[in-house]
Every structure is written in C-alpha cells, then in structure tokens.
A and B are shown apart, each in its own frame.
Chain A
Amino acid sequence: MIKMKDVHKKYKNGVSALNGIDIHIEKGEFVYIVGPSGAGKSTFIKLIYREEKASKGSVVINDIDLGTLKEKEVPLLRRDVGVIFQDFRLLNKLTVYENIAYALEVIEESPKHIRTRVMEVLDLVGLKHKARFLPDELSGGEQQRVAIARAIVNNPIIVIADEPTGNLDPDTSWDIMQTFEEINTRGTTIIMATHSKELVNTIKKRVIAIEGGVIVRDEDRGEYGYEA
C-alpha cells in the first residue's frame, strides 16, 4: 500500500527534514505518527499526497511510484488520498453540503450520485441536519467532521490526518477518533500525525515515532512515548 525506501527530503533552504525513511504500511492499517515538533512528521505526510517530492529514495503508493508521477497525474493520486488538517481548511463561503460535494464535482460525478453520496457521509459523521449551514456557523468539532466527510466522500484508499484533534477539546477529540475508527473498519488505511498522548495510549494502534528525520520506533499497539 505505502512503501518508502531510503527516503530523504532536503528543502531548498537547506533544512533536511527526512534522513533515510524505510517504511511499509499495509492496506487497512491504522497508524499513528508521533514525535516532537520539527521531527519531520508533516513532511512524511506531505510525501504521501505528493505535496512534496522526495529528494532521494522512492515513495510508492498503491503501486504508483510518486518519483515518476507526472504533474498532470497528481490530481488523480489526490482522489485516492483523503487529507485532513488541524485547521479544517473548509471554504467558508460554501455550505457544509457544497464543501463536501465539491470533491465529487471535480471528478465529474453525476448530480444524483453526488446528492446521495454527500448525504451518506454527512450521516456517517452525524451532520445530516446541518447540511445547509456555513462552516462559520459550526463548532470546531463539527467543522472537523465536515473536513473528514469531504476527505472520505470519494471513497479514498488512504486517509491522512495531520493533527486532526489539535484544535479540539478532549470530548470532541474522542468523537472524532470514533469516526476515524469507523472509517478504518470499512477498510480505509488511516495515517494520523498527533501530539495527543491520551489518544495514542488509549486507542492502541501501530505507532511510528520520527525524530530528526529518521524512524526511531515502530511498534504495533505502541505507546506515545513522549511527555505531553
């Protein structure tokens, strides 16, 4: 599913964010990426949806070598990878419904399919009754659930979440985690970068710890391992 071999990433400003990453993540896994700030977690995640390109080594997603992926094929990769951020990244001028439908419009799905599918995912994240609301009219947790709905509406094979609970209170974070677990049980691979010790230590999954751009720990049902 996701294979990285001796991956290095050096930015133009000279910063080496990753220094030789080797990893193999199977289909349907739920993986936490942990580590101190500036360890390289975000860069690791950006490589998966081709926001960044590896300076050295190979990144293969679902048998596609991202090193040789043409620029015009990047949108196609993105349709197989749903991405969720700490700051939600919703379009504030569009309603909840429109924000989610947008991801299907870009792949030119039929209006009928879009209507059905958007309502399905809104149901899954528990926001069917707020379809006509604007993002600003929702709480942080609700906005994050809209972002999750948008990420999965396309039935992606991988969902990447970069600190999805970073801006949310503990109760809301648990709700969001439940939603991720539900998505995961349907066979979608989930990769989540997080600083939340409680989440990692309570909902036990595979833990990959990155420090100084290298993997220092990779454990099934691991612990967070840092002071929160």
Chain B
Amino acid sequence: MRTEVNTDMKLRTIRRHIGEGTRNIFRNGWMSIASIGAVTMTLALVGVFMAIVLNLNEIAKNIEKDVEIKVFIDRLATEEDIEDLRGEINELDTVDTVRFASNDEELLSLAESMGEQGEAWLLYQQDNPLNHAFIVQTIEPTDTEPTADQIAEFTSVDNVNFGKDVVENLFKFNNFARNVGLVVIIGLVLTAIFLISNTIKLTIMARSKEIGIMKLVGATNGFIRWPFFIEGMLLGVLGSIIPISMILFGYSFLEKLLVEQIHFRVIELLPFNPFAWQLSLVILAIGTFIGVWGSVMSVRKFLKV
C-alpha cells in the first residue's frame, strides 16, 4: 500500500469538510428542511416551557423570600434581655437577618394596614398593648418552621408567628410545581433528541449509497464522518433560529406588556437581560448538540458495513 493513514488534517481538508457539510444541506433540499423543521418545532416547545417554568420558579422564590418569622418579645423583658435574645437568635446557623421592631412601629404599621378605620388604634399610643418584636428571616425559606420552633424555646419570647399553614402549603405547592416543570422539560428535551435524531437518521439512510461509494474509493471513516458532523451542527443551528427569535421577541413583548401597560408589579418576570439571552444560548446549545449527536450516531451505523 502506498501511504500511511494521514491523521493530521490539512487546513485544506478542514475547509473542504466545512464546504461539503454546508453544500450537503442544499443538495438534500427537502430532507434538510424536514430536519430543520423537526429541530425548530421541538426547540420552540422546549424554549417556551423553559421560560414558563423558570419564571414560575422565580415567582415562587420571591414569595418564599417574603416569608418571615415574627418573634413577639415578652412584655416584661428588660433591654438587656432583649439584647441577649437578639444574640441568641443571631447565633442560629439558619438565620439570615434579625430586625428589631418596637411596639410603636408595630402599632403604626397595624394602623396603616387597616386604613381609615385603623386610626382608632392610634388611641392606644399612650398605653400600647402590643409587644416589641424581632423580624427574623432564614437563609433557606424551608428552614422557617424549625427555626421558629427553636426560637420559641428561648427565654423572653412571648410568642412566635410565621403563618404556619400558609407557609407549609406554599412550600408544598412550589415543590410540586418545580418537580412537574423539571419532568416536563426533561421529557421535552428527550422527545426533541429522539425526534431530531430520527429525522437526521432518515436523511442519512437515504444517503447510504453515498457512504458506500465513499468507502469504495478509499475514504477513511473520519473523512466520511466530518462533513456529516458539520451538516448536523448546521441543521441544529439553523433549527434554533426561529425558536430563539420567538423567545427574544416574545419575551421582550411580554415583559413590556406586563410592566409598562398593566403595571403588573405583583408578578415580576425574570429580567429580559440576561434571562432571554441565556435561554437563547441554552436553546442553541441543545440544538447544536442534538444535530451533531443525531448525525454522528446515524453515520456510525453505516460505517460499520
């Protein structure tokens, strides 16, 4: 035999593979369109779902962040006792912030929260019936209940309140929603992989004759594989263009609609920058990966012949 197998690829050959992979997309016309269509449809679904699930997760996180423990201090506690209590609470590993709210502040906020009728409460200013309190936030929202239980045991504590029923249900619901979202996204990505790699497999099966001829004239497996690799990558990238545009335009439209027109401040979406860009990158990465993987796996089958 004349030569050794050439393992260092020449620049010319790399250029050829890229050119060949690109030309193949045009040569295979409808099959390429079918592959790109499959990539587009599934990635659009994945993208929309990811945007919804990640935003729901963010909303849940924000609600959870607002969960706080109100520690009512024994009315007989001295200033020294109160400082000791603050120290004890601060020493807990799960605690993030501790804020003191005097009974005057509590009365004011109670009065404010009740609007005009609340003014009556201000009559109590001279003889305030409320307790001083600490407002405690935990690092992890899920630590709220055990932390509250611990604080309740401390001396100088009259009562501890964190809206037990509401918080428990909120956490349960959020966990459920997160798990369902995760399962749906994984399911969609797997469906995308299956659908896209099958479509690509079909386009390559239609070209088994081509691969046979390549082998016949002495092409190495690597030489045959490269253009398919490039082609798969391009199919993935082309297939991600529409889903990415959808995400970028759709998201910016939705954000404007919620924030500017309806003044919808209760539900705050993840900010367009960087979220929409990050999501677009993820979609591009999934598309590229699936395109390459689908084509390389399909060619491998024919190279064994």
Binding site for B on A (CB under 8 A): 49, 62, 64, 72-73, 75-80, 83, 89-91, 93, 102-103, 105-108, 110-111, 150, 154
Contacts and interface: CB of A to CB of B under 8 A. Distances in A.
Contacts of B217: 78-79, 102-103, 106, 150, 154
Contacts of B16: 105
15 contacts: A72-B220, A76-B5, A78-B215, A79-B1, A79-B3, A80-B2, A89-B209, A90-B213, A91-B210, A91-B213, A93-B27, A105-B16, A106-B218, A106-B223, A154-B218
Given A83-B216, A154-B218, A76 B2 contact: yes
A19 B10 CA distance: 45
B212 interface: yes
A83 B216 CA distance: 7
A78 B215 CA distance: 8
Contacts, number: 64
Contacts of B13: 108
Contacts of A150: 217
B117 interface: no
A146 to B, nearest CB: 12
Interface residues of B, number: 24
A75 B219 contact: yes
B6 interface: yes
Contacts of A89: 209, 212-213, 216
B52 interface: no
Residue of B3, B210, B219 with most partner-chain A CB within 10 A = B219
Nearest to B213: A89
Contacts of A93: 27
Interface string B200-230: 0000000001101111111111010000000
Given A76-B218, A89-B216, A102-B217, A107 B1 contact: no
B238 to A, nearest CB: 20
A106 B1 contact: no
